[in-house]
Amino acid sequence: MKIVIVGCGVIGVTTAYCLKRRGHEVTVIDRESGPGRETSFANGGLLTPSMPDPWNAPGSWRVLLGSLGRSDAALQLRLRTLPALVGWGIQFLRHSRPAVFERSRVHNLRLALYSLNAMDALRQQTDIEYGRSALGTLRVFRDQAALDRTAMAAGGLGCEGLGFRKLTVPQMVDLEPALAPIAHQLTGAIHYEMDEAGDAHQFCRALADQAQRLGVEFRFHTEVRALQAHAGRVQALLTDGASFVADRYIVAAGSYSTPLLRRVGVHVPVCPAKGYSVTFEGLQYRQTLSIPVIDDDLHAAVIPLGGAIRVAGTAEFAGYDRTLNPDRARNLVALLQRILPQATFDLDAGKPWCGLRPMSVDGVPVIGATPLSNLAVNTGHGPLGWTSAAGSAQLLTDLISGDPPSIDPAPFALTRFL
């Protein structure tokens, strides 16, 4: 089958690789100069089944309203985006009901665990390098009640396969000695042993190279203008200088999937949420940080990545504005200094970045068919795109190839919103 994929981030490139291995003829189209140049470029680097919770937890509307006008809020809503967010926002809040939220987090966890297994298989097939760390993540707490609540919630997912260890402060420091300087500020930690870390951009480049060797065609510097549809099918995909005709089309363009699909009458309830990171390279202090650390109170993650250290966190609902707000980057560096106070980080030496996470209204990705018979979608992963990429690609490949999926596709189908 001849297949055209729009988007070459971590979702698009894994989908292309899986489809090619299944015997399909695959072309990937992306406007950037290479794979993983947008949202996958400098994300948090974490594969975290431990964090399956959608962002629309019960009561999240209070957090969003409280963020208005605050540049230091972890989750921020920009006033100018309110008109565009009205329809999506109503659905976002409707899906924050406790029963819906609990169901969504279970779906995310199942996909994340399935995806970790798919990543294991992919590594065995390709032997690619992307700075993988398999030490888990360490989530630290400054409030005992928050630690107890989080441990209880994690325990509730134990039957789904989520493993963890609740640590005292001495146990935490024994696992990660770099936290000793702030041990007196902390009440304990949770070690999620199955979590992983790695450089998503490096992964995209390495896997794209493998896919190209298998015969996948990549068209970079190519802007997709429209999908041409007629009689319930896509007839062609139009770019700046050419048209592509295929048996199947897949839109895996992150947040930009929504406007592209809307033009052919396919409504996917996904909107962008801007995330930030700052990366410091060549730091000697990094050598003493062995495990990614997530500070529950500060809403920040510090991740050792090869010869670099990255701090990531915060999110803005600011529409499709990709302008990097220097205040948000400075906030991240300030949070980093609170987690690693004995290290000196100069903002001028860091590499700030922002990217648009594609957020679905229920916090669960949208994977599978659309009302157009030969058009599929793979988007809406929010902060879990890197975590769930391999599993999402495997699921979509099974669906397109007519093979029985190893995971129930219904929770991820677009039809759940109809």
368 found inside a domain:
yes
Length of the chain: 418
Instruction: Name the DSSP letter for residue 357.
Output: E
> SS3 of 290, please?
coil
Inter-residue contact 204 to 13 (CB < 8 Å)? yes
Q: What is the longest distance spanned by two Cα atoms in the chain?
A: 66
164 found inside a domain:
no
Instruction: Name the DSSP letter for residue 133.
Output: B
> SS3 of 92, please?
helix
305 found inside a domain:
yes
34 found inside a domain:
yes
Inter-residue contact 332 to 318 (CB < 8 Å)? no
Instruction: Name the DSSP letter for residue 390.
Output: H
Inter-residue contact 109 to 388 (CB < 8 Å)? no
412 found inside a domain:
yes
Query: pLDDT tens string for the chain (418 positions)?
Result: 999 999 999 999 999 999 999 999 999 999 999 999 999 999 989 999 999 999 888 876 565 555 445 555 555 555 555 556 778 888 888 888 999 999 999 999 999 999 999 999 999 999 999 999 999 999 999 999 999 999 999 999 999 999 999 999 999 999 999 999 999 999 999 999 999 999 999 999 999 999 999 999 999 999 999 999 999 999 999 998 899 999 999 999 999 999 999 999 999 999 999 999 999 986 655 447 899 999 999 889 999 998 789 999 878 888 899 999 888 888 898 899 899 988 777 767 899 999 999 999 999 999 999 999 999 999 999 999 999 999 999 999 999 999 999 999 999 999 999 8
112 found inside a domain:
yes
77 found inside a domain:
yes
CATH number (domain holding residue 98)? 3.50.50.60
40 found inside a domain:
yes
Is the CA virtual torsion 340, 341, 342, 344 positive or negative?
positive
Distances (CA, A) of 50 to 87, 123, 137: 30, 21, 9
Inter-residue contact 363 to 104 (CB < 8 Å)? yes
Q: Which ranges of 57-162 would DSSP assign to H, the alpha helix?
A: 60-67, 82-94, 98-126, 144-156
Strand pairing class (248-251; 2-6): parallel
**Burial class (CB within 10 angstroms; exposed 0-12, middle 13-18, buried 19+) of 32:** middle
Q: Which residues pair with 118 in a beta bridge?
A: none
Chain centroid to CA 127: how far?
Answer: 23
- In whole angstroms, give the CA distance from residue 25 to residue 217: 9
Give the pLDDT of residue 67: 46
- In whole angstroms, give the CA distance from residue 174 to residue 224: 52
Question: Structural domain tally of the chain?
Answer: 1
What range does the domain containing 293 cover?
2-136+194-417
